[in-house]
C-alpha cells in the first residue's frame, strides 16, 4: 500500500495508516468546527479516531484467528474507507476461512454488547427519535457504529467479510476457483443493484458499489491465477530472452533498446550483474521530454521494485506484482543473478494456455488433461 505510515507494532503486526486518513480527520474537524467551534471539532475528531479504533480491533480479530491456524499477518492498513488486514495467505480449508472471517465482526458484536451494558447502567438507551438529534453521548454513537460495521460486513460481496463467508460456504461444495467465480458474480450483481439504488437514494451507495465491483473483480482474478498455477514456479513462466541495460547507460541507449526489442521494461544492472532498478517505457519517454537523451538511466529508473527468486510460486509473485503495482519483476537465481523477467503478459498467457488445456481435459475426459 503506497503512502502509508507505520504507526505501531502489535503482536508482531505492523499497523499502518494511509495518508488520506489524516485528510479525513482534518475535513471532519473543519466540518464540526463550522457548526460548533473548537469543542465540536475535538468531539468530531475523537469520534472518528474511536471509529477507527473499532475498525482496527475488527482487523486484529481476523489476524488473531489467522494466527491460530499458523498464518501470519504482516500488516494492517487503516484507510478512510476501513481497514485491510494483509494475511500472508488465506486458509486452505473452508472451515478455517469461515472462522477467520467471522472473527472480525465478532469483535464488533463484543464491543457493541459491552457498550450496551455500559449505556444501560448509566444513561439508559435514548428512544429512536432522539437518534436523529445531535449531542448523543459518545457511547451511544459508538454502539451504532459497531452495529453498522457488522451489517456492512454482512453484505455478501468482496471485499466485505460477507463475500468471503459466501465463498467459503460455496467452497465446501465445489472447487475454490468456481466458488470464487460464483461469489464474484453475486458481488457484481450487488454492485449493480447498489449503483441503481444509489442513483436515487445516496451518492455514498454509488461509492460502495464501485468499491464492491472492483473488489469482486480482483478477487476473481486472484482465484483464477491461483487455480491455474497450482505448484507452478515463476521460472516456468518468465521471459528469459530480454535486454538489460548497464547502470552507466544513457537514455539514448535505452531508446535504441526500446526500438530494437519488443520489451517495455528494462532491468538495469551494475557491473557485478546485480539488479539496481527497472526502467519503464513511460518513465523513459517522460524523462526524454524533460531532460534529454543524455540523461543517465540511473536517474530515471524505478528502484522500489522487488526482485523475486525463480523458485517462488507463480501466484505469490502475481500477488506481489499487484500489491506494488509493478510493471515487471526481475527474477533471480539462487546466486542472486538476473535470469528472467516476470510480467503481466506472462500471467495473461499462462491463464490462456492453462484454460485451453483445462477445456481440452474437460472435453476429452481425464486422460487428455
Q: Which residues bind Zn ion (CB under 5 A)?
A: 104, 161
> Which CB, 50 or 155, lies closer to Zn ion?
155
Backbone φ, ψ for residue 18 (5° rounding): -80, 145
Least separation, in Å, of the C-beta of 73 and Zn ion?
Answer: 12
Least separation, in Å, of the C-beta of 65 and Zn ion?
Answer: 10
> Which CB, 61 or 340, lies closer to Zn ion?
61
> Which CB, 104 or 215, lies closer to Zn ion?
104
Contact 342, 329 (CB under 8 A): yes
Least separation, in Å, of the C-beta of 303 and Zn ion?
Answer: 34
Distances (CA, A) of 47 to 79, 113, 165: 16, 19, 30
Contact 237, 346 (CB under 8 A): yes
Least separation, in Å, of the C-beta of 105 and Zn ion?
Answer: 7
> Which CB, 161 or 283, lies closer to Zn ion?
161
> 329 CB contacts (<8 Å, ≥6 apart)?
305, 306, 307, 308, 317, 320, 321, 341, 342, 343
> Which CB, 102 or 186, lies closer to Zn ion?
102
Contact 158, 215 (CB under 8 A): yes
Contact 136, 130 (CB under 8 A): yes
Contact 183, 166 (CB under 8 A): yes
Least separation, in Å, of the C-beta of 153 and Zn ion?
Answer: 5
> Which CB, 104 or 267, lies closer to Zn ion?
104
Grid cell at residue 164: 468471503
> Which CB, 161 or 219, lies closer to Zn ion?
161
Query: Cβ–Cβ contacts within 10 Å for residue 222, how many?
Result: 18
User: Across the strands, what pairs with 296?
Assistant: 250
Least separation, in Å, of the C-beta of 104 and Zn ion?
Answer: 3
Helix or strand or coil: residue 78? Answer: strand
Grid cell at residue 64: 488473531
The H or E element containing residue 320 is helix 314-323
> Which CB, 76 or 287, lies closer to Zn ion?
76
Least separation, in Å, of the C-beta of 353 and Zn ion?
Answer: 35
> 42 CB contacts (<8 Å, ≥6 apart)?
none
Least separation, in Å, of the C-beta of 100 and Zn ion?
Answer: 9
Residue nearest to Zn ion (CB): 104
Amino acid at each position: 500500500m503506497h503512502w502509508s505510515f507505520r504507526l505501531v507494532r502489535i503482536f508482531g503486526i505492523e499497523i499502518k495508516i494511509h495518508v488520506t486518513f489524516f485528510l479525513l480527520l482534518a475535513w471532519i474537524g473543519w466540518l464540526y468546527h463550522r457548526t460548533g467551534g473548537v469543542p465540536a471539532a475535538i468531539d468530531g475528531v475523537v469520534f472518528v479516531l474511536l471509529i477507527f479504533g473499532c475498525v482496527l480491533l475488527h482487523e486484529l480479530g481476523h489476524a488473531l484467528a489467522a494466527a491460530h491456524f499458523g498464518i501470519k499477518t504482516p500488516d494492517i492498513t487503516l484507510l478512510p474507507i476501513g481497514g485491510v488486514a494483509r494475511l500472508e495467505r488465506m486458509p486452505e480449508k473452508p472451515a478455517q476461512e469461515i472462522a477467520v472471517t467471522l472473527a472480525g465482526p465478532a469483535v464488533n458484536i463484543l464491543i457493541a454488547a459491552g457498550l450496551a451494558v455500559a449505556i444501560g447502567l448509566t444513561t439508559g438507551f435514548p428512544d429512536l427519535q432522539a437518534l436523529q438529534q445531535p449531542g448523543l453521548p459518545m457511547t451511544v454513537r459508538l454502539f451504532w457504529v459497531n452495529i453498522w460495521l457488522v451489517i456492512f460486513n454482512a453484505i455478501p460481496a468482496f471485499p466485505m467479510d460477507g463475500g468471503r463467508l459466501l465463498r467459503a460456504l460455496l467452497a465446501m461444495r465445489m472447487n475454490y476457483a468456481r466458488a470464487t467465480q460464483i461469489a464474484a458474480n453475486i458481488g457484481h450483481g450487488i454492485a449493480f443493484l447498489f449503483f441503481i439504488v444509489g442513483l436515487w437514494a445516496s451518492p455514498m451507495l454509488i461509492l460502495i458499489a464501485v468499491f464492491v465491483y472492483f473488489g469482486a473483480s480482483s478477487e476473481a482474478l486472484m482465484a483464477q491465477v491461483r487455480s491455474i498455477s497450482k505448484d507452478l514456479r515463476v521460472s516456468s513462466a518468465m521471459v528469459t530472452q530480454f535486454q538489460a541495460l548497464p547502470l552507466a547507460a544513457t537514455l539514448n541507449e535505452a531508446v535504441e533498446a526500446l526500438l530494437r526489442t519488443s520489451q517495455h521494461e528494462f532491468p538495469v544492472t551494475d557491473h557485478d550483474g546485480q539488479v539496481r532498478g527497472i526502467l519503464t517505457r513511460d518513465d523513459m519517454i517522460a524523462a526524454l521530454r524533460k531532460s534529454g537523451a543524455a540523461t543517465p538511466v540511473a536517474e530515471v529508473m524505478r528502484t522500489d521494485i522487488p526482485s523475486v527468486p525463480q523458485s517462488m510460486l507463480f501466484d505469490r509473485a502475481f500477488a506481489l506484482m499487484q500489491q506494488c503495482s509493478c510493471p515487471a519483476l526481475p527474477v533471480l537465481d539462487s546466486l542472486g543473478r538476473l535470469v528472467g523477467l516476470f510480467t503481466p503478459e506472462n500471467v495473461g498467457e499462462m491463464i490462456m494456455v492453462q484454460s485451453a488445456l483445462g477445456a481440452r481435459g474437460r472435453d476429452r475426459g481425464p486422460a487428455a488433461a
